[in-house]
Chains A and B, each alone.
Chain A
Amino acid sequence: MNSFSYHRAAHPVEAVKDVNNQSDAKFVAGGTNLFDLMKLNIEKPSHLTDINRLDLGKIEVLPNNGLRLGALVTNAATAWNKDVEENYPLLSQAILAGASPQLRNMATNGGNTLQRTRCYYFYDLATPCNKREPGTGCSAINGFNRIHAILGTSETCIATHPSDMCVALMALDAKVNVTGVNGERTIDFADFHRLPGDTPHLDNHLEHGDLITSIDLPADHFKTNVAYLKLRDRQSYAFALVSVAAALKMEGNVIQDVSVALGGVAHKPWRDRQAEEQLKGQSATAAGFREFAETVLSGARGFGHNTFKIELAKRAIVRALTMALKNESTILSDLSKA
Chain B
Amino acid sequence: MKNATETVELPEHYPVSLKVNGQAYNLKLQPWVSLLDALRDHLQLKGTKKGCDHGQCGACTVLVNGKRINSCLTMAVMKDGEEITTIEGLAKGDELHPLQKAFIEHDAFQCGYCTPGQICSAVGLLNEGKANSLEEVKELMSGNICRCGAYTHINSAIMQVKGETGNE
Contacts and interface: CB of A to CB of B under 8 A. Distances in A.
Whether A associates with B in a native complex is yes
Interface of A: 1, 3-6, 8, 28, 30-32, 35-36, 38-39, 48, 50, 52, 76, 80, 99-103, 105-106, 235-237, 331-334
B135 A334 contact: yes
Q: Which 8 A-B pairs have CB atoms at the shortest separation, nearest pair first?
A: A100-B143, A236-B142, A6-B31, A32-B73, A102-B70, A105-B67, A237-B142, A102-B143
Interface residues of B, number: 39
Contacts of A332: 135-136, 139
B25 interface: no
Nearest to A333: B135
B77 A103 contact: no
Interface in B37-54: 53-54
A103 B71 CA distance: 10
A103 B10 CA distance: 29
14 contacts: A3-B32, A5-B11, A30-B74, A31-B74, A32-B70, A35-B34, A35-B74, A52-B78, A102-B69, A102-B124, A103-B55, A237-B143, A332-B136, A333-B135
Nearest to B9: A3
Interface string B130-160: 1000011011111111000000000000000
Contact of B128 (A8, A31, A101): A101
Contacts of A333: 135
B99 interface: no
B14 to A, nearest CB: 6
Interface string B66-100: 01111001110110100000000000000000000
Interface in B1-19: 8-12, 14
A42 to B, nearest CB: 12
Contacts of A102: 55, 58, 61, 68-70, 121, 124, 143
Contacts of A38: 32
A236 B130 contact: no
A52 to B, nearest CB: 6
Nearest to A74: B67
Contacts of B31: 4-6, 48
Contacts of B139: 236, 331-332
B125 interface: yes
A106 B63 CA distance: 11
A249 to B, nearest CB: 29
B12 A5 contact: yes
Contact of B125 (A30, A32, A101): A101
B135 A4 contact: no
Contact of B73 (A6, A36, A101, A331): A36
Contact of B54 (A30, A36, A236): A36
B121 to A, nearest CB: 7
A48 B14 CA distance: 13
B154 to A, nearest CB: 14
